[in-house]
Structure 1
Amino acid sequence: MMAYEANFDGLVGPTHNYSGLSAGNIASLAHQYQVSNPKHAALQGLNKMQSLAGLGLIQGVIAPQMRPDIKMLRRLGFSGSDYSVLQQASQQAPKLLTSCYSASSMWAANAATVSPSADTQDKRVHLTPANLASHFHRSIEHQTTARILAAMFNDDNYFCHHPPLPASEQLGDEGAANHTRFCMQHEDQGLEMFVFGRYGFEHNQPSPSCYPARQTYEASAAIARLHQLDPQHVIMVQQNPLLIDQGVFHNDVIAVGNQQTLLCHQYAFLNQSEVYAQLQQKMAGGLSIIEVPANRVSVNDAISSYLFNSQLVTLPNGDVSLILPQQCRDNPQVWQYVQQLLQADRGINRVDLFDLSQSMQNGGGPACLRLRVVLTEQEQQAVNPAVLLTATLFKRLREWVYLHYRDRLVEADLADPSLLLESQTALDELTRILNLGSVYDFQRE
């Protein structure tokens, strides 16, 4: 049975702001305290979704988290009315408040790890929400993420939902940002590559010294077991710790893969030549590895342009497109390499550029915004149809954003109780638009 890769993009939430919460993410730290534009951010993301749907790809929408997380603030000792909780947190623990306001769920590559039915023993699509244990502001997402994914992929005949891994230092899991699947055709059994930053229990192994390595070997191995993957079709690869210390906080900042192609930087992995040998050995039909030399694109240029945080997608006509942020064109060295890559006929036929400046300034590019899910035709029919993007849904979501989102947000605004009410009103309506049911705490109380 034919299978297709669908992209489910995270819809930017109404509290999108620049609080610089992500250690190791250069862009996030560099833009701390700047003025954000939630409305513009959400529209940029929607425009990318609509453009990819227009190219003939299956495109879906993942709802954002409800922020602020009042329930979490209450767990942390703030009490009284919602207004009182916000005021207390603003005065006594402003970093906790900004963390509970984070709109970071927009980066759906961190929502979960997904294995298609062609790879799993029970022939169902397996999904495991990421515990995101490395940062507090993201570690509070997984419960709602699990509810949203269950409402989207809601047929147990086709989808198997696992709980997040235990949230611990040794089992840190950051989702699909550290997971790539290679295959001849999407319906074929694939080779799933899990990339980790460090070992959770073996402290004598290489690891970064400056920034945290967010994904552990133990977490990746656990997900491979939970998803019932054939060990012969799994490869575990360690990220280069030196690059993590330079700001490559996830593998998708330095490498991207699609079907029979891997595009990666010269220094992406530890023991890179051995990684290539394992990939070629395990990948039936061969793998085209495009290694970008450091003397053509430096690590700093790769990070600032997010060349590798692109979406590498196969279009219905067989063309392969590299979905890039505008910053790649703005960087002369990167853009020169991209042009030469197209001319070299290495299997990438075209480039599509998008303005995602609001997301980029907070440290997320095109690949961060989407979760890839390979679906057969029957599985696609089993997906909640309300979350699949159509021209009608696109128009409705644009109107919804214009109605509910602010066009300016700074950290001082987070103590404003009206922002809480605006967010609740917006997301309550969104759950009806996307037919999700009561996925948010305020709807379940």
Structure 2
Amino acid sequence: MKHFEANFDGLVGPTHNYAGLSFGNVASYSNAAQASNPKAAAKQGLAKAKALADLGMVQGVLAPQERPDLYSLRRMGFSGSDAEVLTQAAKQAPMLLNACCSASSMWTANAATVSPSADTRNGKVHFTPANLVDKLHRSIEPTTTGNILKATFSDEKHFQHHQHLPEHASFGDEGAANHTRLCSDYGHAGVELFVYGQQAMNPNAPKPKKFPARQTLEASQAVARLHQLDDESCVFMQQNPDVIDQGVFHNDVISVGNQNVLFYHEQAFVDTAAKFDEIRRKMNTDVHFVKVATEQVSIQDAVKSYLFNTQIITLPNGEMAIIAPTDCEENPAVHAYLNELVTLGTPIKQVRYYDVKQSMQNGGGPACLRLRVAMNEHEVAAVNQNTLMNDALFTRLNTWVDKHYRDTLTVADLADPQLIIESRTALDELTQVLKLGSVYQFQK
């Protein structure tokens, strides 16, 4: 039987904007209040997804959230017609309006944690949407995320869906951005590496001083239980609090793994040597720990270029390739390192660069844009086939973007009632293209 690691990229929503909502995310904060280009952002994401499909990868798409989120604004006390709710929020609490207009669901690495059937006791692929409680604009996503995942992976014979964790800081869960699966082959049982920022219920444990540690150990352990993972299938490792304070808000900004390779910065983790020994023991196979030293690439350059927010994929010919943003190519230190990396004898043999600058300026690189789902050929066949990238879907989605998306959007434009109509019209059509059914509240 054939096995694959599929990538499901988040479609960029019509309200893609730079409101600077993500404290701790240097790029998001530094580009706040710039004008965005939703159409360009969506097309850049589609081009990257199509490129991976053309490389022979199983590539899908996940629909964006409904924004503006008028239902959340009504829960916050704004009332009247849709236009009145928007106008009241813009005048009385513009930051709440900004949060309810965020297109952050494009970063589907935060959509959920996924465990493949090879690891789980009941032999199903398990999904748990992330609760994302650390940020208001993301905390309103999980229910719709669950709807979209269930519409994409609907066959109960193969897929099992869980409710997101309790909405409390003790269970702060950021999804696959803090989860990496290592294995000898996608179809073999592997080791799921859960990286956390703090122990919420241990006040004496180390944690960052400046920026929040969004993922807790308690959340990671809860997801492992929900997914029916054995102890020998899990390693729980703490992210270095000092690098969180330097803008490394998720583990996928400082390390990335694929099969038997873990590509990481030397400052990424706490207790690195002992935890790597645990991974080796539980993997029971050769593991390539590819370390980037600070003298080669500083934390500042790693965060600015998103060297580690790249994808590592295994091509059909067996070679591994890094899918990197063009920002890596434009950073002298990072570009020099990547040129050297492919000569070092690791499984990584290629680097391919893609322009995702609209996403990068808001703090998300190629790895943020995708959710990895390891599946066998029967499970791939059970996926909603309308969500899998091919020439026809690529053309249809680009046409859809051209029809519905604006070229320019400023924070001030979020108060435009016409944006509600544009967004809902676009999403209603998208659910028909992807055959998702009624996943949004406005459709019910």
Pairing of 1:174-323 with structure 2 (within 5 A): 174-323=174-323
Larger deviation, residues 226-235 vs 280-289: 280-289
Report the Cα distance in structure 1 between the residues aligned to 2:159 and 2:86, rounded to whole angstroms: 39
Q: Which residue number corresponds to residue 381 of structure 2? A: 381
Q: Which residue number corresponds to residue 427 of structure 1? A: 427
The code of the aligned residue for 1:425 comes to T
Report the Cα distance in structure 2 between the residues aligned to 1:162 and 1:286, rounded to whole angstroms: 33
| TM-score (norm. length: structure 2) | 0.99
SS at match of 2:409: coil
SS at match of 1:126: strand
Q: Which residue number corresponds to residue 171 of structure 1? A: 171
Gaps of 5+ in 2: none
Report the Cα distance in structure 1 between the residues aligned to 2:160 and 2:29, rounded to whole angstroms: 37
Cα offsets for 1:359-411 (capped at 9, x unmatched): 00000000000000011111111101110111000000000000000000001
Q: CA deviation at 1:141?
A: 0.2
Report the Cα distance in structure 1 between the residues aligned to 2:86 and 2:160, rounded to whole angstroms: 38
Report the Cα distance in structure 2 between the residues aligned to 1:2 and 1:218, rounded to whole angstroms: 35
Report the Cα distance in structure 1 between the residues aligned to 2:423 and 2:369, rounded to whole angstroms: 20
Q: CA deviation at 1:284?
A: 1.7
Q: Which residue number corresponds to residue 38 of structure 2? A: 38
Report the Cα distance in structure 2 between the residues aligned to 1:161 and 1:320, rounded to whole angstroms: 30
Cα offsets for 1:132-175 (capped at 9, x unmatched): 00000000000100000000000100000000000101000000
The answer (yes or no) to whether the contact 1:127–1:161 under 8 Å persists in 2 is yes
SS at match of 1:350: strand
Report the Cα distance in structure 1 between the residues aligned to 2:366 and 2:34, rounded to whole angstroms: 21
Q: Which residue number corresponds to residue 148 of structure 2? A: 148
Q: Which residue number corresponds to residue 108 of structure 2? A: 108
The answer (yes or no) to whether the contact 1:101–1:414 under 8 Å persists in 2 is yes
Report the Cα distance in structure 2 between the residues aligned to 1:379 and 1:284, rounded to whole angstroms: 26
Report the Cα distance in structure 2 between the residues aligned to 1:65 and 1:115, rounded to whole angstroms: 23
Report the Cα distance in structure 2 between the residues aligned to 1:270 and 1:116, rounded to whole angstroms: 27
The code of the aligned residue for 1:6 comes to A
Report the Cα distance in structure 2 between the residues aligned to 1:433 and 1:200, rounded to whole angstroms: 42
Q: Which residue number corresponds to residue 136 of structure 2? A: 136
The answer (yes or no) to whether the contact 1:2–1:186 under 8 Å persists in 2 is no
Q: Which residue number corresponds to residue 440 of structure 1? A: 440
Q: Which residue number corresponds to residue 400 of structure 1? A: 400
Report the Cα distance in structure 2 between the residues aligned to 1:353 and 1:50, rounded to whole angstroms: 14
The code of the aligned residue for 2:412 comes to A
Q: Which residue number corresponds to residue 161 of structure 1? A: 161
Larger deviation, residues 279-288 vs 254-263: 279-288
Q: CA deviation at 1:272?
A: 1.5
| TM-score (norm. length: structure 1) | 0.99
Q: CA deviation at 1:280?
A: 1.6
Report the Cα distance in structure 2 between the residues aligned to 1:273 and 1:330, rounded to whole angstroms: 33
Q: CA deviation at 1:93?
A: 0.1
SS at match of 2:431: helix
Report the Cα distance in structure 1 between the residues aligned to 2:233 and 2:422, rounded to whole angstroms: 47
SS at match of 1:349: strand
Report the Cα distance in structure 1 between the residues aligned to 2:233 and 2:104, rounded to whole angstroms: 32
Q: Which residue number corresponds to residue 59 of structure 1? A: 59
The answer (yes or no) to whether the contact 1:305–1:328 under 8 Å persists in 2 is yes
The code of the aligned residue for 2:197 comes to G
Report the Cα distance in structure 2 between the residues aligned to 1:389 and 1:54, rounded to whole angstroms: 9
SS at match of 1:324: strand
Cα RMSD, aligned residues only: 0.6
Report the Cα distance in structure 2 between the residues aligned to 1:304 and 1:273, rounded to whole angstroms: 27
Report the Cα distance in structure 2 between the residues aligned to 1:290 and 1:5, rounded to whole angstroms: 21
The answer (yes or no) to whether the contact 1:313–1:322 under 8 Å persists in 2 is yes
Identity of aligned residues (%): 57
The answer (yes or no) to whether the contact 1:99–1:137 under 8 Å persists in 2 is yes
Q: Which residue number corresponds to residue 90 of structure 1? A: 90
Report the Cα distance in structure 2 between the residues aligned to 1:381 and 1:340, rounded to whole angstroms: 39
SS at match of 2:289: strand
Cα offsets for 1:389-437 (capped at 9, x unmatched): 1100000000000000000000110110001100000000000000000
Report how many residues are paired: 444
The code of the aligned residue for 1:75 comes to R
Q: Which residue number corresponds to residue 355 of structure 1? A: 355
Cα offsets for 1:60-108 (capped at 9, x unmatched): 0000001000011011000001110000000000000000000000000
Q: CA deviation at 1:279?
A: 1.6
The answer (yes or no) to whether the contact 1:269–1:275 under 8 Å persists in 2 is no
SS at match of 1:235: strand
4+ runs deviating over 4 angstroms: none
Q: Which residue number corresponds to residue 330 of structure 2? A: 330
Q: Which residue number corresponds to residue 411 of structure 1? A: 411
Q: CA deviation at 1:2?
A: 2.5
SS at match of 1:221: helix
Q: Which residue number corresponds to residue 79 of structure 1? A: 79
